Amino acid sequence: MIFKEILGASVALWLAAAPAFAGNSSDDALLGAFDAYRAGDPIRFAKHAQKLSHHVLEPWLEYWRLSLRLEDMPATEVRAFLSKFERSYVAELLREEWLKVLGGRGDWQEFDRQAAFYSRDDLEVRCYGWASRLQRGDESAYAEAAAAMWLEPRELPEGCSKLADAMMEQGQLTFSDVWRRVRVLFEYGQITAAKTALGYLPRNEAPDERMLAEAARQPKRLLSRLPKNLEQRATREVVVLAVVRFARSDAEGAAAALDGPLAARLPEADLKYLWGRVGHEAAREHYDKALAWYARAGDLRLTDEQLAWKARAALRRGNWQVVRDSIDQMSAGARQERAWSYWYGRALAAQGEETGSRAYYLRVAGRPDFYGLLAEEELGYMVALPDKIYVPGEDEVAAAKRDPGIARALELIRLGLRTEGVREWIHTIRFFDDAKLIAAAEVAHRAEIYDRVIETANKTVRVHNFALRYPVPYQDVFQEYAKTHGVDPALVLGLVRQESRFLQESRSSAGATGLMQLMPRTARYVAAKLGLRNYRPHHMGEVQTNVGLGTGYLKLVLNQVGHPILASTAYNAGPGRARRWRDSRPLEGAIYVETIPISETRDYVKNVMANSVFYAAVLENKLTPIKARLGTVPPRTGAEPTAEDELP
């Protein structure tokens, strides 16, 4: 937020030692200052800020003050702030904003000075960094920018747009590069950004706007009456975009279009590209023909995302050689991801290469997560809670509480500025050793900020405290309702740990509330099913009601889908999807989870199932192997619930 010549000397009034106004609390003044900052109102900000003196959030107040007029701020004043609050989160925030201001005005000397201390990763700052190098004559920045920025599947920020303009003027980006970007944007459904990219084409090279709109909104109709002149680049590219768009909603229909007149009218390179897209979309929809359609892409170099779904399609078919080949073709970074290390080990084992498979399992084993648990079992080990846990002393807890960053985070969260508080916390603990992490987690536990307890305790490497990693607040309530509804308490807690991190005030962007994150419609449905009289929506803010309805809903889902994996999937994505993602044959539980099409749901179910293993150990000292919990997912059947019986 940039404001010119508004604050003047009046802004400095907030630094005065004695408040000028009486009657308002420190909390009211702080929150008033924050609201004024968000509204971009420097006068109102100064009015509230002058009531605060020596506040624990002084760095934030200073940051808000400077941010409001950063474009006109003298460099000396910015440097003074960065020096005073060196290594703090707000210093990093202000430096990032300052770098964008400097890049926008082309002050490359000061930009380079500040960029040397910048440790965050922001695409626009990187673009200004490349622009700075170009100003110094380093033309290698062109290639780096083209590789890292040009194919970003989103609208480019201002600094990157300026860099792209310069690259077009210098001939570093071609018309083919423009179409390449447009294809990527269509793949991700970023149609508005695609239209922006097409603005780089001259009028005689640009596509017909009505045809482009039809490709985006009604691709099937465009493909049913193909334009005559596919030799023209713009027309041909629009037809390619229509197939990309069509494949997202109907992979089988897109395949049929490619086998029709398009087979003879598109160049071989375009056909291979489109078969790669069709194979990818078909794999995500679990079509049996996905691998065959992938094969028709021939020697096309697939992206890591396409190769991941090729491997997943092969997992569902039990084709371990294709699993192995797909992972081999991934980039080095993708191959080293924990998921693909585990599945590569499984592929080697399936082909009798036991020594090689153990080497891959060992890369993954030793961490208390989904793949770590699976790998440990493949190696023949039973995962157990550590015999010794690290319990911080009171002096360590007190020292953690005194840490300025921890103190600021706690105050921000107490005031309801949770986003700012969580980010301050994450920045503060980023270099803590295990002992300090556990002490900080204990501070959060005593403050009942359970998401920070879990995330902080999760970061330990050599010594651990599983009571903090897997806390059980409201234990009596969970145990009571799990017993009442006949569901596994470890599964309930594993789900809640993933859903809300045990924050009763949690509310999702979609409107789900409380510990068990129920949507209002679902809560009403379950309350009616359970015969809960006088239920009102505000009752979801009560722990007892929230847990009672949440466990009741989980039981209803379990009864309908019949398997813990399917129930966990249904809790996040809905029962209809959970059933639809089954196969026509029984499927190993781990493979079902790995091939869930929605990445958020896939990660969610992995975490819930791993959590349940450890909660069983925490609650009952009972170690159930994760493979036993995952089991086998039964095949699809014709006996599906009717629309009337479908759960919300």
Whether 422 and 405 have beta carbons less than 8 Å apart is answered as: no
Per the annotation, the verdict on 231 as an active-site residue is: no
Burial 353-367 (b: 16+ CB within 10 A, else e): eeeebbebbeebbee
Whether 51 and 29 have beta carbons less than 8 Å apart is answered as: yes
State the pairing for strand pair 587-588/632-633. antiparallel
Q: How far apart are CA 274 and CA 251, in angstroms?
A: 11
Neighbours of 309 (CB within 10 A): 23
Q: How far apart are CA 250 and CA 256, in angstroms?
A: 10
Q: How far apart are CA 474 and CA 479, in angstroms?
A: 9
Q: How far apart are CA 321 and CA 64, in angstroms?
A: 57
Nearest to 615 by CA among 516, 498, 489: 489
Q: How far apart are CA 453 and CA 474, in angstroms?
A: 15
Q: How far apart are CA 485 and CA 482, in angstroms?
A: 5
Q: What are phi and psi of 398, to 5 degrees?
A: -65, -40
SS3 content of the chain, % helix, strand, coil (to 5): 65, 0, 35
Written as one string, the DSSP assignment of 563-580 is SHHHHHHHHHH-HHHHHH
Alpha-carbon 546 to chain mean position: 26
Q: What are phi and psi of 628, to 5 degrees?
A: -70, -35
Q: Residue for token digits 């319990």?
A: 391
Q: How far apart are CA 332 and CA 334, in angstroms?
A: 6
Neighbours of 141 (CB within 10 A): 21
Largest Cα separation within the chain, whole Å, is: 81
- Residues paired with residue 507 on neighbouring β-strands, in sequence order: 513
84 CB-near residues (< 8 Å, 6+ apart): 62
Alpha-carbon 156 to chain mean position: 19
Nearest to 337 by CA among 364, 310, 316, 312: 364
Name the DSSP class of 54: S
Secondary structure class of 189 (helix, strand, coil): coil
202 CB-near residues (< 8 Å, 6+ apart): none
Burial 52-90 (b: 16+ CB within 10 A, else e): beebebbbbbbbbbbbbbbeebeeeebeebbeebeebbb
Catalytic choice (499, 542, 620, 640)? 499
Name the DSSP class of 632: E
The amino acid at 48: H
Q: Which residues are catalytic?
A: 499
